[in-house]
């Protein structure tokens, strides 16, 4: 009986033990290379400056967080993982002779310490010199179960040439003790590679596009996927630090570098992306996040948006049918240097023509929101009519709104793909009275590429289709009609 009770007690304690161990998890490591150059003090070595981004799950023992990193071949596995121990003795100077990075974070937040900070004391052994870094940012996820840390400007001298791939392995441990004498939580053997480098720029013509260069010091082509995200402001209104708020992906693509004349690069230019012609997104920086097949971490860099801000934000544009015509209504925000709006119309497969001009209501460069309307009294029965706004600045520059479609009595359902052919990003315009519809895109073999249900958007955008010929079929639920269009991606 005692054996049975002991067994039950052990089984009952397993979930608690596993939960305790699971709380000490480090993940989503990203490296941003800031600079690298041959060492001025140690010939043959490389001075590297980089930002190190990681996510750690929260637990009650993260008052102090320490990170130690070694070159891959020097990794000692000090904590003898797996399994990760709890309440282990932290490493001291003798254990860290070959370590290249030793970082300490005071993670506790209270009235006297309002934000996490880097610390310059290694409490288990004050003879250990901590690695130089320029700053620290922490972002707690909305769920509250984890936080992302950005350690900025880590400076190391790697015992390799700058033409070699620098691969490292790190241990993390944390403690709640005042002097951090026990590693209450340990995570071992997190690998990361300080490669590749990412550069690029945002082209200011409208709609915005970007160029990107992914370069590696590896002596073989690397491949993977890169993703582009908008750089939203954090809770303090600051931009330029990669946080959980930067989660709107506007482009993604596979890539493979090419070895040529001693360079190992992937280059892509004039790439259109989502929200590249609307405020505030078209005025934002872009994060480029690169994954590499075979690398344990991702790489990242920021493309700064130095373009002049868009002068006008169109927040609403609708078209509705009247008894004797059509009513166009739109709302704006942040009008600055705006002269007005040309209303343009297209019937069937014809060209857009100008119907008239509506001057701005924002006298003296006022930026508050305004409401506009325009009546078209010349509708043609039995057709589909398309409308757009040509939004003019005082200096003659202009941008187009999305297109709105209106079907008059007897007109067949219609969908307009623009541009067609495209480079992989295109929009589909649907009549305003279409109701709910389903949309499917297939290739010429019948393989389904996109399958979307229950849509009611008047405009829908698609991105990142590979070159080829596709068939798009739209089924309109209320009328029972269907439309099929051929889509060409070059």
Residue 483 confidence class, pLDDT cut points 50, 70, 90: confident
What's the pLDDT score for residue 311? 67
Q: 118 and 135 in contact (C-beta within 8 Å)?
A: yes
Mean pLDDT of 26-37: 94
What are the start-end ranges of the H helices in 280-418?
none
Whether 17 has a pLDDT exceeding 50, the answer reads no
Cβ burial 257-268 (10 Å sphere, 16+ → b, else e): beeeeeebbbee
Q: Could you state, in order of their start, the residue ranges of all structural domains in the chain?
A: 23-193, 197-303, 311-410, 412-490
Whether 50 has a pLDDT exceeding 70, the answer reads yes
SS (H, E, C) 14-60: HHHHHHHHHCCCEEEEEEEEEEEEECCCCCCCEEEEEEEEEEEECCC
Mean pLDDT of 145-151: 90
pLDDT tens-digit map of 108-121 = 888 888 889 999 99
Whether 14 has a pLDDT exceeding 70, the answer reads no
Q: Other CB atoms closer than 10 Å to residue 113's CB: what's the count?
A: 11
**Which SS3 state, helix, strand or coil, does residue 252 take?**
strand
pLDDT tens-digit map of 234-282 = 777 788 888 888 888 999 999 999 999 889 999 999 999 988 887 788 8
Out of 2.60.40.10, 1.20.1200.10, 3.40.50.10860, 3.40.190.10, select the CATH number for domain 311-410.
Answer: 2.60.40.10
Enter the CATH code of domain 197-303: 2.60.40
Domains 311-410 and 412-490 share a fold: yes
DSSP β-ladder status, 146-158 and 398-400: unpaired
pLDDT tens-digit map of 159-203 = 999 999 999 999 999 998 888 888 988 999 999 999 999 999 999
Residue with tokens 């004797």: 324
Q: Which two tokens stand for residue 271?
A: 């790439």
CATH architecture of 412-490: Sandwich (2.60)
DSSP lists the bridge partners of residue 142 as none
What's the pLDDT score for residue 23? 46
DSSP β-ladder status, 298-303 and 26-38: parallel
């Amino acid at each position: 009986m005692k054996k049975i009770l002991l067994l039950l007690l052990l089984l009952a304690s397993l979930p608690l033990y596993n939960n305790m161990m699971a709380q000490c998890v480090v993940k989503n490591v990203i490296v941003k290379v800031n600079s690298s150059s041959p060492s001025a003090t140690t010939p043959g070595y490389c001075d590297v400056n980089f930002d190190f981004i990681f996510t750690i799950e929260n637990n009650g023992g993260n008052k102090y967080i320490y990170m130690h990193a070694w070159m891959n071949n020097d990794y000692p596995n000090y904590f003898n993982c797996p399994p990760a121990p709890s309440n282990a003795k932290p490493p001291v100077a003798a254990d860290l002779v070959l370590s290249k990075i030793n970082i300490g974070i005071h993670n506790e937040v209270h009235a006297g310490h309002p934000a996490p900070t880097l610390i310059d004391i290694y409490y288990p052994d004050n003879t250990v010199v901590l690695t130089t870094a320029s700053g620290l940012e922490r972002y707690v996820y909305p769920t509250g179960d984890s936080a992302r840390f950005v350690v900025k400007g880590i400076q190391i001298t790697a015992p390799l040439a700058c033409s070699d791939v620098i691969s490292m392995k790190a241990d993390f441990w944390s403690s709640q003790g005042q002097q951090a004498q026990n590693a209450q939580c340990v995570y071992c053997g997190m690998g990361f590679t300080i490669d590749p480098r990412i550069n690029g720029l945002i082209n200011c013509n409208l709609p915005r596009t970007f160029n990107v260069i992914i370069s590696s010091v590896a002596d073989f082509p690397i491949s993977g996927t890169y993703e582009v995200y908008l750089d939203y402001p954090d809770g303090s209104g600051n931009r330029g630090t990669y946080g959980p708020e930067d989660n709107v992906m506007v482009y993604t693509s596979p890539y493979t570098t090419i070895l040529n004349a001693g360079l190992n690069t992937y280059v892509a230019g004039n790439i259109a992306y989502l929200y590249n012609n609307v405020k505030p997104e078209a005025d934002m920086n872009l994060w480029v996040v690169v994954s590499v097949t075979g690398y344990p971490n991702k790489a990242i860099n920021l493309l700064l948006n130095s373009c002049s801000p868009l002068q006008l934000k169109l927040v609403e544009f609708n078209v509705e049918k009247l008894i004797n015509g059509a009513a166009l209504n739109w709302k704006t925000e942040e009008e600055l240097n705006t002269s007005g709006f040309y209303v343009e119309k297209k019937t069937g497969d014809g060209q857009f023509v100008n119907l008239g001009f509506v001057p701005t209501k924002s006298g003296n460069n006022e930026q508050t929101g305004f409401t506009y309307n325009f009546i078209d009294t010349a509708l043609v029965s039995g057709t589909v009519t398309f409308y757009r706004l040509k939004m003019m600045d005082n200096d003659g520059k202009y941008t187009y709104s999305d297109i709105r479609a209106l079907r008059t009595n007897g007109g067949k359902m219609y969908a307009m793909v623009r541009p067609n052919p495209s480079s992989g990003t295109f929009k589909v315009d649907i009549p305003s009275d279409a109701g709910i519809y389903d949309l499917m895109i297939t290739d010429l073999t019948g393989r389904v590429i996109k399958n979307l249900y229950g849509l009611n958007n008047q405009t829908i955008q698609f991105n990142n289709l590979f070159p080829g010929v596709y068939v798009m079929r739209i089924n309109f639920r209320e009328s029972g009609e269907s439309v099929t269009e051929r889509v060409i991606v070059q």
